Amino acid sequence: MSLQGLVSGAECAVPFNPLSQVLKHTDGDRSIQQDRIAGPSGSRLQHLPSTTAAPGSERDLALARQFFDNNGQASSSTPNFAIPRHIAPPDMSRFMNAPGASSELMAAWAESQHKQQLHMPGPTLQVPQSSGSAWAGEFGSGMQVVAPGPSVQQSMAQQPNFYQSSYMGSRMYGGIPMNMFSTPMNMTTTAVDKGKGKSREIDFEAAFAEVTQSLGPSEAEMARIVELDDTADLQEAMSGVSLESIVDSQPPVGADFKTVWDQLQNSDMPPPVEDVAKWEAEFNQLMNSQRSSDLDFDYGAMMQGAWESGLGNWGEPALESGTKFNEEGLPVLGEYEFDAGNQHLDPSTSTQSPLEDAKRLLEQNGSLTEAALLLEAAIQRNDLGKGGYEAWILLGEVRSMDEREEQGMRALTEGVRRAEEAGAAGEGMLSLAISFTNESYERASHTMLLRWLKARFPDHPIPAEAWESLTQSSWHSHDRVTEIFINLAREQHSKGVLDPEVQVGLGVLFYTNNEYDRAKDCFEAALSVRPADFMLWNRLGSSLSNGNHPEAALGVYREALNLRPTYTRAIYNVGVACLNIGAHKEAAEHFLTALAMQDSSAGPKSEQLWFTLRRAFQAMDRQDLADKATANTDLDVFRGEGFDY
């Protein structure tokens, strides 16, 4: 373990090594606390806070190493007591304002602060040192992460934050000892954190005091301290190391300590032990009251639980009967189902190229259902268009526009597959990603977007980590993929390019994460390049509608419907916006319009539309109508009920 390496390595370098000594202190610090918990011993300092320190981690040690190495190199022997950086005024004032802090406490605090000022340089006194400012500078630079009140002890208090981010961020917890997660990490309020840091400083003092008390190096006592350490692996490393280092280096350093301690004892301001005791008692009280109001939050235990039960087997295939997903989160949907009674299949009634017919129909704002049937016929008659994928992708897009997402997804999946085979990777991928988003297959959407980006911008770097993230949770993959898209968009921006498709991709990513305001900005940017794209208008509207601006969304949908009056999805969305505003009757009418539009063929209507219509009726307190709104009902029934559509 690095701990051992640190101590023994440093030992080799310097004959009597301050680092090993101080490590012993931090070690002693923790064990004293445990000792307190187990049973107080009269010979020790009283009223130590009963907080459990986080076990020293590699990071702490790295900081410690940086700090002490620098100290060890200094050569003059002038002790320096003035270390202003140690006392961080904002930190202190915050503490003073903490609820429950009495004037007594403040007085005690002021006193103990004084005392700290005298005590804390203790360890550095053993070390010959040239300049205090260098000390402070080095110390500060080593503690960049920890903003206020730099001290090794405080960095421990910051630890939970650090691990929290890295833990979810990049799955790098392999190297972190598991027991990090089992220690209580109380991090909900910064006040608590800071308080803990302070309490550890007091612990440090106590440790310091204890060392002076037990100056005659009693091996038994040291051994006991180590035994009480709670972390098994640390203990193993430490018991060997600290014992031998203590035995080796104790006498000379001990003597040094003694002189320092005596000096301190005889100095002008002897530490008022009673006040400190009082202060700590009150401090404990304060800490405990804060902790209990904390919704008994135990992050460490939670993470442990998550690890044991969830994360450990995330790769386990989804449950048997549900939709199957491949390892990149793409749903396995099955074959596209063609409409059985498709009249365009009959060669006698249709023209030479149903694909061309479908395209013409789409240009003329014809019925989407009709166009879809033409495209189906085209595919079945092997009129596949460009590269053997054009008809499939067009069919998928038309099905999605016609509010038939399931069929759209299947057709698009087939189209994307064929396009990749034909060497035109990227075609249809954006549409498919959007379909996945609508059906809440977030991870599939992220996968598709990333593949699209790779196909369209082969030069843009995609770290392997991002591909890996796709096999994990959608939270994780979202962060990774978004980062890549943002980088690309920035790069383009710096070149003065605005690629509407990249903006759409980015918008979809924000949309999947409920960041509708940012999604809106992306779609607006795309619209500034392609103002006649009705699908973009609809997407902008949906971002507004889901982002709690349904009124604004209505105007945007109108733009989309002006460009394409038969856009079933936009009509559906208008209905949803009306429903969310509270205009239930209007909502029902829009849903009926959309249903009527799908009526022009023999194919089944969208279940989604019927379902939302039922909800509109329920919102109107018309359960009788809701009961009628099923797939087999003639729409004219509702016309008779006074619905105008």
Partner 1 sequence: MSTIKAEGFKGSETLAALAAVFDSYSDEEKKAQIKKTNGIFEIRLKNANGEEGIWTIDLKTTGSVYKGESKSKPNVTILMSDETFQQLATGKLDGQKAFMTGKLKTKGNMMFATKLDGVLKSAKAKAKL
Q: Output the smallest distance, CB 506 to partner 1, in A.
A: 13
Tell which one of 36, 393, 626, 638 touches partner 1 (CB under 8 A).
626
Q: Which is nearer to partner 1, 306 or 602 (CB)?
A: 306
Q: Is 334 in the site for partner 1 (CB under 8 A)?
A: no
Q: Which is nearer to partner 1, 248 or 479 (CB)?
A: 479
Q: Which residues pair with 77 in a beta bridge?
A: 129
Amino acid at 348: S
Identify whether the C-beta of residue 538 lies closer than 8 Å to the C-beta of residue 567.
yes
Tell which one of 289, 440, 528, 562 touches partner 1 (CB under 8 A).
440
Give residue 212's Cα distance to chain centre.
Answer: 47
Q: Is 321 in the site for partner 1 (CB under 8 A)?
A: yes
Tell which one of 198, 278, 615, 622 touches partner 1 (CB under 8 A).
615
Q: Which residues pair with 325 in a beta bridge?
A: 331
Q: Residue for token digits 């840091």?
A: 197
Q: Output the smallest distance, CB 482 to partner 1, in A.
A: 13
Q: Is 174 in the site for partner 1 (CB under 8 A)?
A: no
Tokens, residue 256? 């040094």
Nearest-CA neighbor of 345 among 385, 375, 365?
375
Restricting to residues 368-427, name those near partner 1 by CB under 8 A: 403, 405
Q: Which is nearer to partner 1, 21 or 542 (CB)?
A: 542
Tell which one of 299, 338, 643, 645 touches partner 1 (CB under 8 A).
299
Q: Is 332 in the site for partner 1 (CB under 8 A)?
A: no
Q: Is 577 in the site for partner 1 (CB under 8 A)?
A: yes
Q: Output the smallest distance, CB 492 to partner 1, in A.
A: 22
Q: Residue for token digits 């004219």?
A: 636
Q: Which residues contact 377 (CB under 8 A, 6 or more apart)?
A: 342, 344, 345, 350, 354
Q: Output the smallest distance, CB 488 to partner 1, in A.
A: 20
Q: How far is CA 247 from CA 212, 218, 251, 568, in A?
A: 15, 9, 8, 83
Q: Output the smallest distance, CB 546 to partner 1, in A.
A: 5
Q: Is 311 in the site for partner 1 (CB under 8 A)?
A: yes
Q: Is 434 in the site for partner 1 (CB under 8 A)?
A: yes
Helices (H), 364-473: 368-380, 390-401, 405-421, 429-438, 442-456, 464-469
Q: Is 569 in the site for partner 1 (CB under 8 A)?
A: yes
CA–CA gap between residue 57 and residue 388 (Å, rounded) = 58
Q: Is 614 in the site for partner 1 (CB under 8 A)?
A: yes
Give residue 314's Cα distance to chain centre.
Answer: 17
Binding mask 475-514 for partner 1 (x = CB under 8 A): x--------------------------------x--x-xx
CA–CA gap between residue 278 and residue 192 (Å, rounded) = 19
429 class by beta-carbon count within 10 Å (0-12 exposed, 13-18 middle, 19+ buried): buried
The answer for 186, left when phi > 0, alpha when psi is -120 to 50, beta otherwise, is: beta
Q: Which is nearer to partner 1, 117 or 471 (CB)?
A: 471
* Helix (H) or strand (E) segment spanning residue 21: helix 18-38
Q: Is 632 in the site for partner 1 (CB under 8 A)?
A: no
Q: Output the smallest distance, CB 332 to partner 1, in A.
A: 12
Binding mask 257-296 for partner 1 (x = CB under 8 A): --------------------------------------x-
Q: Is 598 in the site for partner 1 (CB under 8 A)?
A: no
Q: Is 51 in the site for partner 1 (CB under 8 A)?
A: no
Q: Output the smallest distance, CB 473 to partner 1, in A.
A: 6
Q: Residue for token digits 């007594």?
A: 104
Q: Is 322 in the site for partner 1 (CB under 8 A)?
A: yes
Tell me how crowded residue 463 is: count the other CB atoms within 10 A of its CB.
11
Give the length of the chain: 645
Identify whether the C-beta of residue 529 lies closer than 8 Å to the C-beta of residue 330.
no
Q: Is 551 in the site for partner 1 (CB under 8 A)?
A: no
CA–CA gap between residue 122 and residue 550 (Å, rounded) = 65
Q: Which is nearer to partner 1, 233 or 627 (CB)?
A: 627
Q: Is 542 in the site for partner 1 (CB under 8 A)?
A: yes
Does the CA dihedral 631-634-635-638 come out positive or negative? negative
Tell which one of 380, 580, 600, 633 touches partner 1 (CB under 8 A).
580
Q: Is 637 in the site for partner 1 (CB under 8 A)?
A: no
CA–CA gap between residue 317 and residue 283 (Å, rounded) = 51
Tokens, residue 488? 């690309």
Q: Residue for token digits 């981010």?
A: 165
Part of the chain binding partner 1 (CB under 8 A), chosen from 32-40, 102-110, 175-183, 434-442: 434-442
Tell which one of 33, 437, 503, 593 touches partner 1 (CB under 8 A).
437
Does the CA dihedral 105-111-117-118 come out positive or negative? negative
By CB under 8 A, the count of residues binding partner 1 is 59
Identify whether the C-beta of residue 49 lies closer than 8 Å to the C-beta of residue 203.
yes
Q: Which residues contact 574 (CB under 8 A, 6 or more apart)?
A: 554, 557, 561, 590
Tell which one of 89, 252, 305, 565 touches partner 1 (CB under 8 A).
305
Q: Which is nearer to partner 1, 115 or 480 (CB)?
A: 480
CA–CA gap between residue 177 and residue 189 (Å, rounded) = 25
Q: Is 590 in the site for partner 1 (CB under 8 A)?
A: no
Q: Is 317 in the site for partner 1 (CB under 8 A)?
A: no
Nearest-CA neighbor of 159 among 193, 191, 136?
193
Part of the chain binding partner 1 (CB under 8 A), chosen from 44-52, 109-117, 276-284, 469-477: 469-477
Q: Is 318 in the site for partner 1 (CB under 8 A)?
A: yes
Q: Where are the beta strands (DSSP E) in 208-261?
A: none
Part of the chain binding partner 1 (CB under 8 A), chosen from 57-65, 129-137, 348-356, 541-549: 541-549
Q: Is 183 in the site for partner 1 (CB under 8 A)?
A: no
* Chain contacts with partner 1 (rule: CB under 8 A): 164, 168, 187-188, 295, 297, 299, 302, 305-306, 309-311, 314, 318-319, 321-323, 403, 405, 434, 437-440, 473-475, 508, 511, 513-514, 538-539, 541-542, 545-546, 548, 553, 569, 572-573, 576-577, 579-580, 607-608, 610-612, 614-615, 618, 626, 630-631
